[in-house]
Structure 1
Amino acid sequence: MGMSAASAPRQWRLLAVAGPLALAIFQIVGTFGAAAREVDRHPIDALTIVLVLTGALSLLALPRRPVAVLWFVIAVTLTYLLRGYAYGPVVVSAVIAVFACVVLGHRAAAWWGVGTLFAAHFSLRGSFRDEPWSWGQLLAVAAWALLVLILAEFARVRRERSIAARAAESEARKRQANEERLRIARELHDTVAHHMSLINMQAGVALHLLDRHPEQAQTALTAIRDASKEGLAELRSLVDVLRDEEQGAPRSPTAMLGTLDDLIERSNAAGLVVTKRVKGDQRSLPTAVELAAFRIVQEAITNVVRHADATTAEIVLGYGETELEVRVDDDGRGDGVEADPSGSGIRGMRERASALHGSLAVGPSPLGGLQVRARLPLAGDR
């Protein structure tokens, strides 16, 4: 079982404290053991204990000041070696400091530190002790130092790749969350804006007719009731779909081309005469395509109701072999796009088309108003 995100930092902090303490004990014991075997070396004294302990315990500051700790440990280790003490595990502190510096990205300091320790040890040992060295010793120490550096470089590359992978994963999650928020915002906008536009228009009609023609006002109020009821039903359906998606059981959306006649009926009841024309072989399409087509038509009709001062609108669905063409024309003012200060409706339609690798264009209509025309590839959701 892997570590949780919360427990991992605590375990690393515990290791950063317990590790140097355990290393100090290990180096003290190992140094006494080495001195017992190498009786011809300088005997253990108080300075030996100080050097061994300070070298190990300085690693407590390694996560915060890796370069400073590295050079301190190099100095301690070099002093120990030049004093002629037994060759014990004192170099382990230096190895850990070098390894950590490379992994943490301080490569130059690590390589310079190893080079300094290596060169100073073999060049100065004769000045402190009459102890000649051989080329075999020189090459063996150089090989071990190079091995430590190479292993550290491999660990550094692996760490950097892991950090990059986590960053990419985090960015992907953020991008996915943003896309989900945009999708929900589009669904809410398309659902609410259409019904609220119809309610707003019918409320204005009802207020205008309430005193002089109450029977006609009643028709408008009935349309308001129906539009609000259907809007609430769509909102509940949207919430249910989102809830099921969170629980891992996504459901198909209810707003599909099969419900287009209901939208037309609501628009007709609001006073806008809407007709539908189908070209090509009408058939079932991928869910994403049908949902996008319905929402584009719905938003286009909403814009007509809100901004165009139109009396009629025509919906044309063109079923091709590889794409669905959706066209909405009206006979209004022809400036519906500019009339919407937020522009969220047009932007939302374009986003829906782009999500399926399709396109959307807005321009003048042959009917005298505005035309919204979308091309949706049938394989765009795959």
Structure 2
Amino acid sequence: MALPSRARRAPRGRVVAWAADMGVTLTAALFVVIWTVVATARAGYGSEPLASTLIEWALIVVGCGALYFRHRWPVAVAVVTLLVCGTYYPMSEHDGPLVLTFALALYTTAAEGRFVASVALAAVTLLAVGLGEIRQAPGNRQIDDTSLVMLAGWLISLVAVGRAQRTRIAYLHEVEQRALAAEREQEARARQSATEERLRIARELHDVLGHSISLINVQAGAVLHRLSKKPAPEVALPAAQEALEAVKATSKDALRELRATLGVLRQADEAAPTAPVSGLDRLGELVGRARSAGLDVSVRTEGAPRPLPPPLDLAAYRIVQESLTNVTRHARAHAAAITLSWADDELRLRIEDDGEGSPDEHAPGSGIRGMAERARALGGDLTARNTADGFRVTARLPLTMAATTAPAPPPTTSSLSTPKGDQE
């Protein structure tokens, strides 16, 4: 796995990396310098020519200073420190700890993922030391066979530990990336859930308020039209009373459904609404309100009705409700027919009217889109089109899929905007 470059880290990360590199470099340099000074003092100052001493100190500066760049150019720094050590030790009369610089550089080369280069450098080092000792005259060897084996183990250990560190860093980086990906996915799911819930509430409000307010508007408009003709008091008063009673009943039902819809927004410690959820068992009330607005509504049932799961029951009710709302508001229809066809595996709804139809049935409004999404959420479908006599909405709701659906309101859609044309 490719790890992020130290040069591409955030500003804070770059500062930390710089401080770490500088700290290691200064520590190593301080250790080498102090050890070298102590070793020189024990051997006696002036035991070496001045030129050799200056060259040795220059090599120490180069070797220690190169450590600062070991993460940026690990292979180059390892080569430089190896050459420095290879020049320093044959020249110096007293061994110092300058080899520490090569050890750090070799470890860093393996830790930075340059495994082949680190193995090659370790092999070259071991081969060079071995050849150098072989060429020495008997009795003049600086490193015996045991020390040579220990040097081989030391080099292998440096490469192995660097490789292990590289693997550990790669693993931690992968774990971090997976954690970030999981966090982003969780946030995305939370946003999606919040959006779906918001849209669900929006459509519930659209269906409830749109239907009730439409009926109230039609009822109020009808009575105002009759009163504008200035009828006799004995005629005007009953008409106004009848309209007000219809408005009262419609608004009461709207408030009931609105409380049930907004119940999902209540806090956990508040009492939830106890009113029953709307379903086909309340179809009679829905038809009665439509009739009070002057629409002649008939209901026909085909097949044997049966209890429905709450999601399907609510969806069927809302489809009929929204269809009647469209008829009342836009179709200028006189009659509407509702047909419920019950089969073994599905429920079919058909709502027809004798109105003007839709001027553009290929560009439905939010109401029809909402009905279609309700049907699709339960594995069904919905079509809405003009007919020779008006407009027809047909919905198919599978009973088998609805039986396995959790008893929660289906996901919903779109806005509360007033649609254009004849039908939403």
After TM superposition, the score normalised by the length of structure 2 is: 0.63
Output aligned runs, 1:21-40, within 5 Å: 21=19, 32=31
- Alpha-carbon shift at residue 123 of structure 1 (Å): 5.5
Contact 1:82-1:125 within 8 A present in 2 as well: no
Structure 2: which amino acid aligns with 1:86?
A: V
* Inter-partner Cα distance in structure 2 for 1:319 and 1:247: 39
Q: Which residue is equivalent to 1:254?
A: 277
Equivalent residue for 2:393?
Answer: 372
- Aligned ranges for residues 26-105 of structure 1 at < 5 Å? 32=31, 45=60, 50-52=65-67, 54=68, 70-84=71-85, 85-87=98-100, 90-91=104-105, 94=108, 98=112
Query: Any unmatched runs of 5+ in structure 2?
Result: 1-9, 41-55, 86-97, 134-147, 407-424
Q: Which residue of 1 aligns with 2:225?
A: 208
State percent identity of aligned pairs: 34
Once the two structures are TM-superposed, the CA of residue 300 in structure 1 deviates from its matched residue by 0.7
Conserved 8 A contact 2:219-2:292: no
Aligned equivalents of 2:271, 2:182: Cα separation in 1: 26
8 Å Cα contact 2:111/2:163 also seen in 1: no
Q: 1:161 to 1:247 in 2, by over 3 A?
A: farther
The count of residues paired between Structure 1 and Structure 2 equals 338
**Which range is displaced more, 179-188 or 284-293?**
179-188
Change (3 A) 1:15 1:349: same
One-letter amino acid matched to 2:384: V
* Aligned with 1:176 (options 178, 184, 193): 193
Whether contact under 8 Å (1:359, 1:375) holds in the other structure is yes
Tell me the distance in 2 between the aligned counterparts of 1:205 and 1:136.
103
Equivalent residue letter for 1:192: L
Secondary structure in 2 matching 1:220: helix
Residue of structure 1 aligned with 2:314, choices 288, 291, 310: 291
1:322 to 323, 345, 360: 345
Aligned partner of residue 100 in structure 2, secondary structure: coil
Q: Which has the larger radius of gyration?
A: 2
SS of 2:266's partner is: helix
Displacement of 1:140 after TM fit? 6.2
Counterpart-to-counterpart distance in 1, 2:208 and 2:357:
24
Question: What is the aligned counterpart of 1:348 among 365, 370, 381?
Answer: 370
Residues 337 and 195 of structure 1: CA distance in aligned 2, closer, same or farther (over 3 Å): farther
Q: Look up the equivalent residue of 2:197 and give its one-letter code.
A: E
Code of the residue aligned with 2:281 in structure 1: it is G
> Could you say if the C-alpha distance between residues 96 and 283 of structure 1 is closer, same or farther in structure 2, counting changes exceeding 3 Å?
farther
On the 8 A contact 1:357/1:376 being kept in 2, the answer is yes
Q: What CA distance in whole angstroms lies between the structure 2 residues aligned with 1:208 and 1:347?
A: 33
Whether the 8 Å contact between 2:350 and 2:394 is mirrored in structure 1 is yes
Q: Give 1:136 shift.
A: 5.2
What secondary structure is seen at the aligned counterpart in 1 of 2:394?
strand
* CA contact 2:250–2:289 (8 Å) conserved in 1: yes
Letter of the structure 1 residue corresponding to residue 99 of structure 2? A
Deviations 1:136-184 (A, max 9, x none): 5776666555555555554555455444434433333333233223212
**Which runs of structure 2 are paired with 1:118-267 in the superposition (5 Å)?**
119=120, 147-155=164-172, 157-212=174-229, 213=231, 214-215=236-237, 216-243=239-266, 254-267=277-290
Bigger CA drift: 144-153 or 82-91? 144-153
Q: 1:155 to 1:238 in 2, by over 3 A?
A: same
Return the structure number with greater relative CO, CA threshold 8 A, min gap 6.
Answer: 2
Matched residues in 2 for 1:92 and 1:195: separation?
81
Whichever residue aligns with residue 87 of structure 1, its letter is L
Are the equivalent residues in 2 in contact too, given 1:360–1:372 (CA < 8 A)?
yes
Return the alpha-carbon distance in structure 2 between the equivalents of residues 250 and 82 of structure 1.
84
| Mapped partners of 1:248, 1:173: distance in 2 | 25
Cα 1:70–1:249, aligned 2, differ >3 Å: closer, same or farther? farther
Larger mean CA deviation between 354-363 and 230-239 belongs to: 230-239
**C-alpha distance in 2, partners of 1:233/1:225?**
12
Q: CA contact under 8 A between 1:201 and 1:270: conserved in structure 2?
A: yes
Q: Structure 1 29/14 Cα, relative in aligned 2: closer, same or farther at 3 Å? A: same
